[in-house]
Amino acid sequence: MTELLTIERRDDIELVGLNRPDQRNAISNAMIAELHDYFSDVPADVRVVVLHGHGDNFCAGLDLKELVATRPDPETPLDVRTQFARSKKWHRTFDLIQFGEVPVISVLKGAVMGGGLELASATHIRVAERNTTFMLPEGQRGIFLGGSGSVRIPRLIGPSRVIDMMLTGRTYDADEGRLLGFNQYAVEAGAGLDKAIELAAQVATNAPSGNFAIINGIQRISDLPMAEGMFAEMMVSRVASSGSNSAERITGFFEERKAARR
């Protein structure tokens, strides 16, 4: 347990809790650093991570109070280098989640807005309680997505819906979100964590090499042209079934493909 994250072990499942309930679990610089540190070094015997928020909300996004406090004065925007550095830190952290060692299941409730939705979109399975509200209020605040949301969220619900949310402030609930692709499961308020643990227990029975291939292969393969995707599928299938060093070999394969396309 740290100041901003709680860590609870359930056999081969680890529960990671965002622990700023009085700030609706808004993501501060310190919190993103702790998430980065955790997902950089998930314990080797953990098969699945369940990510949840303490209190009534999953995550209300970027800590705007901290953002404003770092400006020389309220009318002066942050310099470009500072903004880029923050975005890169978020990008690296969320990449560690989406393309990491183990599946991550998120429990969504209350506010899932802005950066909180960016964080959720990096997880592999999303369980939303029916009091969940999905929001992208950046348009009303004169800012833009900066934590990979413009890349990840359109892949879930389509670009036009993201544009609508940002321009008009439109929101979606858990049942609408399940139909659109925000979440795969919708449960009653208070039931999200139990459902996520149930799913995690099922996922944990899979072969680790198979889980790694799924979370690292599906998204990347779906982004490839058809012919290259077919080839990548054959390669990942072969590597995943070979057992030894499969995680390293799958990662290496996609890194080689990425380098070849540059």
* pLDDT tens digits, 207-246: 898 999 999 999 999 999 999 999 999 988 887 877 656 6
Pick the closest to residue 178 from 221, 131, 126, 135 (CA basis): 126
Is 188 known to be catalytic?
Answer: no
Quick one: pLDDT at residue 74? Answer: 58
Do 113 and 217 belong to one domain? no
Q: Exactly one of 8, 138, 176, 255 is catalytic; which is it?
A: 138
Count up the domains in the chain and report the number. 2
Helix (H, G, I), strand (E, B) or coil at 152: helix
Do 195 and 212 belong to one domain? no
Do 175 and 257 belong to one domain? no
Do 185 and 154 belong to one domain? yes
* Predicted model pTM: 0.90
pLDDT in tens, 103-147: 999 999 999 999 999 999 999 999 999 999 999 998 777 788 999
Do 158 and 240 belong to one domain? no
Do 164 and 231 belong to one domain? no
d(CA 89, CA 183): 25
Q: Judge residue 29's burial from the number of C-beta atoms within 10 Å of its C-beta, 0-12 exposed, 13-18 middle, 19 or more buried.
A: middle
Quick one: pLDDT at residue 72? Answer: 60
Is 118 known to be catalytic?
Answer: yes
Residue 206 pLDDT greater than 70, yes or no: yes
Do 55 and 167 belong to one domain? yes
Q: Exactly one of 14, 34, 101, 118 is catalytic; which is it?
A: 118
Q: Judge residue 233's burial from the number of C-beta atoms within 10 Å of its C-beta, 0-12 exposed, 13-18 middle, 19 or more buried.
A: middle
d(CA 217, CA 233): 8
> Residue 51 sits in which domain range?
5-203
Mean pLDDT of 145-153: 94
Which of 183, 203, 223 is the endpoint of a domain? 203
Do 21 and 84 belong to one domain? yes
Do 169 and 219 belong to one domain? no
The Cα-based distances of 191 to 25, 112, 194, 196 in angstroms read 19, 17, 6, 9
Do 113 and 216 belong to one domain? no
Which of 154, 169, 203 is the endpoint of a domain? 203
Task: Name the average pLDDT for the chain.
Answer: 91
Do 123 and 180 belong to one domain? yes
Which of 158, 183, 203 is the endpoint of a domain? 203
Q: Residue 72's CB: how many other CB atoms inside 10 A?
A: 9
Quick one: pLDDT at residue 140? Answer: 78
